[in-house]
Chain A
């Protein structure tokens, strides 16, 4: 039942059955009560699975490799061996800091270097030619990038824009995790709104309106904006469903359809 139920998320994202999220930008917006990290874990597993044979480029700003290794191992995916077989490129950015607090120029150079790392990695992968499953770039917490940049929004957006150009040039997917509740209403017009405009798919995780429950840990809202790229058109799709986190993954189900 578990594998079947997982498809609710994948169906909403438009993956599975030969389709991928290649060329699209996915924004995962979570809040402090319900972390959206499990969506990233799900996508990691999906990208690295035998079925999709994709390559993952993880720009880790929030957690070290061992953290992901432990989680994904429980889900049945060995990150260490994936790393050795070059399917996973783990860019450890935990200590990322752009020197020169005032000097905007230095920060731009810093972001440019970060992007050049990404681009070279992608060029190497595509030259090697075993990326038939597509490349997925994952940024595990964009707010950490903000901290590293000392809150300089424009440069983060420039960096993201460059990441997005990779999606159209190489057909990569870009997955970004962001927090919805750490901005005041004025600040939210900056990064968060811009991100929502940039994203093709917005996944929001929220607690239940009725509060904590034992069987249901929260709800997911997926807004999949139609795209005219690739194989024909797809319409705007809007899905809302509940999820339950388990040791080895998450269960997704429509409200009221859980089997006890």
Chain B
């Protein structure tokens, strides 16, 4: 369901509501948080670059890595570098967080730091209110003071919490969320570096959380690495990602997926069957089936739904609820290449059929979800 997290970061905030906020947390047992953060960062940045998102620009508050690291990351995955200066700014809390180097430079002649044009160095990270005004200043510098919005990413709230109290950090985040010009905000926290109350406090002010857990739970009694070799190895390149999506009415959707570290970035997959087998064997023996077998699942996928357009040679258009159909037809991204290539002439002579077009992130037809849950009235 990481896909839907990317979508809601892309779609941004509704008029009169707080911006959606995503909190990514990991622990040392499953230290893939930065990979997941980079994944969402890349996804949002590429959406912004393609002008598909509500946010017109992105401000990254970098504590853990240098600004050039993030720019290299985006470049290496094929985001056009020319967009950086117009749509992406890095607030550099990495290079000189406490102003030590600044003080050194004053006493000596000092060398110039190269290539810092895309970022502004922040030298007093303890001053959270200054940080807030600087983030807003940078963002508004990119999008102007009008109605355009921008997104904010914080690469390590853990580092932020080292320099400031939880109250101040929580206030910063909720101030950002309620600001008119903010489209969405997301951050990474290493939850085992803090007391549990810190994670809870941050979870209250987020609409989505993505928690990483180890694929294989470490054995508490076995402190030594040698007794845990297999587990540590497995956990070092894959982890379970639990995504909580909070609805407006307080309903929470929980999805679990598996994260695999790949050569380039990460891959988010459905829970592997290996684990499903483990789960199944752990289930108590019951008279009826709790889960579908592989064959049953295949069969279910083959059922032709009477109300759904089956594509018979025509293009399947997925209406994403945001733009009119005529506009959509111009957009090559949303169009599945047609098989015949002559569909437009075919449809023009049609007799006025109504096709049900399934929404891209629609529920399964047999879901127990309330269909009116999303309505804005």
Residues of A bordering B, CB below 8 Å: 108, 112, 115-116, 119-120, 123, 154, 157-158, 161-162, 165, 168-169, 189, 193-194, 196-197, 204, 206, 208-209, 219, 221, 223, 225-226, 228-229, 233, 235-236, 238, 240
Contacts and interface: CB of A to CB of B under 8 A. Distances in A.
B225 interface: yes
A115 B100 contact: yes
Interface stretch (B168-176, B177-185, B227-235, B357-365): B227-235
Contacts of A158: 97-98
A119 B104 contact: yes
Contacts of B229: 221, 240
A135 B325 CA distance: 60
Contact of A197 (B65, B98, B193): B193
Given A154-B162, A168-B68, A193-B28, A119 B232 contact: no
Interface of B: 28, 31, 65-66, 68-69, 72-73, 76, 94-98, 100-101, 103-104, 108, 111, 113, 158-159, 162, 190, 192-193, 224-227, 229, 232-233, 236-237, 261, 263-264
5 contacts: A162-B98, A165-B95, A196-B28, A197-B31, A223-B232
A158 B101 CA distance: 12
Contact of A193 (B73, B193, B226): B193
Given A194-B193, A197-B28, A116 B100 contact: yes
Contact of A161 (B97, B232, B263): B97
A228 B72 contact: yes
A169 B113 contact: yes
B323 to A, nearest CB: 35
B104 A206 contact: no
Given A119-B101, A119-B104, A193-B193, A157 B224 contact: no
Contacts of B263: 233, 235
Closest 6 CB pairs of A and B: A168-B66, A238-B233, A221-B225, A236-B237, A112-B100, A209-B226
A189 B195 CA distance: 10
A168 B69 contact: yes
